[in-house]
Structure 1
Amino acid sequence: MKQLRPVMFVGTASDVGKSVITAGFCRIFKQDGYHPAPFKAQNMSLNSYATPDGLEIGRAQAVQAEAAGVPCHTDMNPVLLKPTNDKSSQLVLHGKPAGNQTAWEYFMQDDKRQLFEEVKAAFNRLAAQYNPVVMEGAGSISELNLRQRDITNMRIALHAGAAVYLIADIDRGGVFGSVYGTIALLPPEEKALIKGIIINKFRGDARLFEDGRRQLEAITGVPVTGVLPYFHDIHIEEEDSVALSLKQKRQTHGRINIAVVLLRHMSNFTDFNVLEKDDRVNIFYTDNPAEITEADIVIIPGSKNTLADLVAIKNNGTARAITEAYKRDKVVIGICGGYQMMGASIADPYGVEGEPGSMPGLGILPVSTVLTREKITRQRRFTHRQQLAVCEGYEIHMGITESDNPSPLNTLDDGQPDGYFLHDKCWGTYLHGILDNTAVLDELLLACGKEVNTAQSFDYKAFRSAQYDKLAAHIRQHLDMDAVYKAIRL
């Protein structure tokens, strides 16, 4: 198999489709017999994932690794920023927490020289093992005030010698200005890396853009590699919670209504992607007390700042609505931070999330939590309650939850207990991805008392694989793949 040079997908702005297109190319190279791996030097997201060796990376790179058919590794995302509030983030370096930093400290101190060395070393290790490395940029590549401190866009592209493709979202408008301006602001050595322009999210007949395509090529001197139509029938995980604003569906008849409590610091909302694709379910995200009490199932999700979110839901009436739903015999469950909130108390003696202190929880489960300095990050295999089927999930949390009367929900692969099972309609767990397991999901839906067709059980793993194949076919149909291969063959 011929060696390919790295290929990198960068953007004119955030949310133009870089993560999805990177995942699509990971699947394409896998289908074509290569051994690809994804790479994003720096990611900022509250969606993260546990690697097989018990470390933490951005969820988007785990998705891309799945599309490539390879195990995820911290070298695929050496720097992860997890916002804790509006001004600071937890820095995760090579999968391990490296302290909290304000935006000023992170971007302005030391020009990030040391971090860039770490990023280059991670890329070099991947490049020695995989062919090709499929790289993703972050935000816009033409932020002049950040150029000398850039570790995730054109500086790493230059180090890699990557063939770079610029992605623009035509659906948001201003595509000519954004593409021309982005390229015009690049210095010559960076502009030389740009091998093509990808116009993404085009609605309507693409033939209408033929004149625009020629004009864009004329003013930039860069070929348009293709125009990707907007799609609704291919489902790839979104990178971050900006998409939740589009998921404010409400109650519907004929399905099981599931309310996910909308938290300000909500993390790992991908726990609920399976519910969005299951035809038996109507899922919506809300902090409206009336909608919560009327739902069939209420789920309290994970949080990057559990205590702050607990204060918020107590102040806005959401906490009272959750306990009211529990008293009305509705199904109420919590995952990770949501599990901690359901207990009697949460203590933060070391100031992990802010000032040291403690706070009463919702008092639904007879458990208490102490937040710890050490982050627990593990992939897990487990058995759920009395079932024999082996399930899969992962832990990412800073805290230990205990009870005077243990009643484990799950038994982990090392024999340790997880979570608390109060009864069929009320439980909590630390395991993200628990609902991706058909046996657990079917049991949850049955608990609400409505008729559930378990013959329609949803195989989410097979569904995800099929989506990567559909995405790859979509890209092949609308991009000049011969030109891409010509640009990356050494």
Structure 2
Amino acid sequence: MHSPLRPIMLAGTGSDVGKSVIAAALCRIFLQDGYHPAPFKAQNMALNSFVTADGLELGRAQAVQAEAAGVPCHTDMNPLLLKPSGDSTSQVVLHGRPTGNQHASAYFRREGRAELEREVHAAFDRLAARYNPIVMEGAGSISELNLRDVDLVNLPMARYADASVLLVADIDRGGVFASVYGSIMLQTPEDRQRIRGVLINKFRGDMSLFGSGRRMIEELCGVPVVGVVPHFTDIYIEEEDSVTLRTKQREAVEGRINVAVVLLRHMSNFTDFDVLERDERVHLFYTNNTEELCKADIILLPGSKNTLDDLSDLRRNGAAGAIQRAYRDGAVVMGICGGYQMMGREVCDPDHVEGDIERLPGLGLLPVTTRLTKEKTTRQVSFRMVNDPRMCRGYEIHMGETRLEAGASDVLPLTEGDGVDTGWRVGERCMGSYIHGILDNAPAIDCLLRPVIGRIDTRRTFDYAAFKEEQYDRLADHVRRHVDMAQIYGMMKKR
């Protein structure tokens, strides 16, 4: 039995510096070393979310970190989730349940902040009573001075948890000396003392050339550099933010099944398609270009935080017509969640759940209609693809009810299980489902690829669960090689 360790917080010099991935690595390392770790992020802002076994919602990054730690995910790991629905408005999800939409100016006011603070503190306390150690993650930059008084997730949370803070900086974006020095020196003296180490992330090139840089940072800041982690491209960890999707826009290629994911402004849960990136039969790319959509063998419509707004965009930019033409020309089209809603005859929003648009015609590929609802459905599901006995698992997160039109012909259920219909299909090339994670299951991949598999020669099976476990171990090995874990354990010892 290991003695209790002090929590460790991965704080950042900015957004997208790699805090989430380093936190996942530490979760796996602590698990390998015989501890019982768990992740924690008091407040997260992301469209990519996950559903717990009891049907509650949390940020996808914490679900990934829990998987790396070998424990079931729980909303205490991310008690407060903000899901942007516009440039300055977000749905607020507290302990896994939506409490309404708030404008940024209302959410970040001081009034009512103490109540939210009590909620995230209580979640941390419950988690800390069950796990050792807690791997905490901050949000964005720790030096947003204008938000210091209402900060729930960075140094104020570290103070409450009595956590040692590891400052993560992304050297790839440049300005690493200024960002590290500024992030530390802008803290109060008390918080500055809590920052026990610096981790330089995403390093490219000859590591020996940065030796003097490490010493300069230590001399300037009075804080040890515990490691310099090289950038990697051969370890695959599910990402939470969609900032990297633009770099995945690639043209169709010969010799593989070309799968185009339609790039939406409000895309959510794009990790639904990660498994296809690892399948050697498939070439996956993200696009809303009409010519590229028409070249695809399979078109996937992803989830959306604002279905009607994204559907309006698709109709305006010509992508809706391109998808319809591609289907007529032999492409497979599949929609998931909001994408499933778009594939129907019509999407209606009489209660203005999403905004001012009350109704729009859909793509008309499935004989279903959707009415958006104020109540959110969040649940894990066990199911089977129709005519396939293998059990599958996934989860639902949606605000809407989709109904089959009366008298619809040539339409069959896509899935069966849990006593409800979770999707429909017309023939083999047109299908939609509310189930996120559906493609993580081999039977669903078989169903998706079956109409076009004859276009290539390669056939293989792919175990995505085993693949992810291998990636967590590889990530842990990578971080162990480049980070002084003895030093990290030292800063986590309780005195």
Give TM-score scaled by structure 2 length. 0.97
Q: Which residue of 2 aligns with 1:379?
A: 380
Q: Which residue of 1 aligns with 2:77?
A: 76
- Counterparts of 1:239 and 1:261, CA distance in 2: 18
- Counterparts of 1:160 and 1:458, CA distance in 2: 41
- Counterparts of 2:457 and 2:18, CA distance in 1: 36
* Per-residue deviation, 1:245: 1.1
Q: Which residue of 1 aligns with 2:454?
A: 450
| SS of corresponding position for 2:129 | helix
Residue 408 of structure 1 pairs with residue 413 of structure 2: yes
- Counterparts of 2:272 and 2:452, CA distance in 1: 19
Amino acid at match of 2:491: A
- Counterparts of 1:45 and 1:360, CA distance in 2: 28
- Counterparts of 2:121 and 2:493, CA distance in 1: 22
Amino acid at match of 2:389: L
* 2:245–2:286 CA contact under 8 A, matched in 1: yes
* Per-residue deviation, 1:451: 4.0
1:99-118 deviation line (CA, Å, top 9, x unaligned): 00111111125162211111
* 1:368–1:402 CA contact under 8 A, matched in 2: yes
Amino acid at match of 1:304: K
- Counterparts of 2:109 and 2:476, CA distance in 1: 39
Indicate how the Cα distance of structure 1 residues 453 and 432 shifts in structure 2: closer, same or farther if over 3 A, else same. Answer: farther
Alignment of 1:188-203 (within 5 A): 188-203=189-204
* 2:308–2:357 CA contact under 8 A, matched in 1: no
| SS of corresponding position for 1:140 | coil
- Counterparts of 1:358 and 1:125, CA distance in 2: 44
Q: Which residue of 1 aligns with 2:155?
A: 154
* 1:436–1:460 CA contact under 8 A, matched in 2: yes
Q: Give me the identity figure in percent.
A: 59
Q: Which residue of 1 aligns with 2:426?
A: 422
Amino acid at match of 1:411: E
* Per-residue deviation, 1:449: 4.8
Residue 4 of structure 1 pairs with residue 5 of structure 2: yes
* 2:256–2:456 CA contact under 8 A, matched in 1: no
Alignment of 1:22-171 (within 5 A): 22-110=23-111, 112-171=113-172
Residue 210 of structure 1 pairs with residue 211 of structure 2: yes
- Counterparts of 1:446 and 1:304, CA distance in 2: 30
- Counterparts of 1:109 and 1:362, CA distance in 2: 45
Amino acid at match of 1:385: V
Specify every segment of 5 or more residues in structure 2 that has no aligned partner in the other structure, as ranges: none
* Partner of residue 436 from structure 2, selected from 392, 408, 432: 432
* 1:445–1:452 CA contact under 8 A, matched in 2: no
Specify every segment of 5 or more residues in structure 1 that has no aligned partner in the other structure, as ranges: none
Amino acid at match of 1:206: M
Amino acid at match of 2:397: I
* Per-residue deviation, 1:442: 2.2
1:299-332 deviation line (CA, Å, top 9, x unaligned): 1111000001111100000000011111112101
1:314-372 deviation line (CA, Å, top 9, x unaligned): 00000000111111121011111011001011111211101362221111100011111
- Counterparts of 1:304 and 1:359, CA distance in 2: 16
Alignment of 1:281-320 (within 5 A): 281-320=282-321
* Per-residue deviation, 1:175: 0.7
CA RMSD of aligned residues (A): 1.2
* 1:442–1:457 CA contact under 8 A, matched in 2: no
Amino acid at match of 2:414: L
* Per-residue deviation, 1:455: 4.6
* 1:25–1:472 CA contact under 8 A, matched in 2: yes
| SS of corresponding position for 1:307 | helix
| SS of corresponding position for 1:105 | helix
Amino acid at match of 1:374: E
| SS of corresponding position for 1:340 | helix
Indicate how the Cα distance of structure 1 residues 264 and 356 shifts in structure 2: closer, same or farther if over 3 A, else same. Answer: closer
* 2:110–2:150 CA contact under 8 A, matched in 1: no
* 1:377–1:394 CA contact under 8 A, matched in 2: yes
Indicate how the Cα distance of structure 1 residues 437 and 453 shifts in structure 2: closer, same or farther if over 3 A, else same. Answer: farther
Residue 464 of structure 1 pairs with residue 468 of structure 2: yes
Q: Which residue of 1 aligns with 2:229?
A: 228
Residue 183 of structure 1 pairs with residue 164 of structure 2: no
* 1:446–1:452 CA contact under 8 A, matched in 2: no
- Counterparts of 2:10 and 2:63, CA distance in 1: 17
Indicate how the Cα distance of structure 1 residues 245 and 360 shifts in structure 2: closer, same or farther if over 3 A, else same. Answer: same
- Counterparts of 1:229 and 1:367, CA distance in 2: 49
Amino acid at match of 1:268: N
Amino acid at match of 1:22: A
* 2:343–2:362 CA contact under 8 A, matched in 1: yes
* Per-residue deviation, 1:407: 2.5
- Counterparts of 1:449 and 1:57, CA distance in 2: 36
1:251-287 deviation line (CA, Å, top 9, x unaligned): 1001100111111001000001111111111111111
Q: Which residue of 2 aligns with 1:242?
A: 243
| SS of corresponding position for 2:477 | helix
- Counterparts of 1:449 and 1:129, CA distance in 2: 48
* Per-residue deviation, 1:452: 5.2
| SS of corresponding position for 1:214 | helix
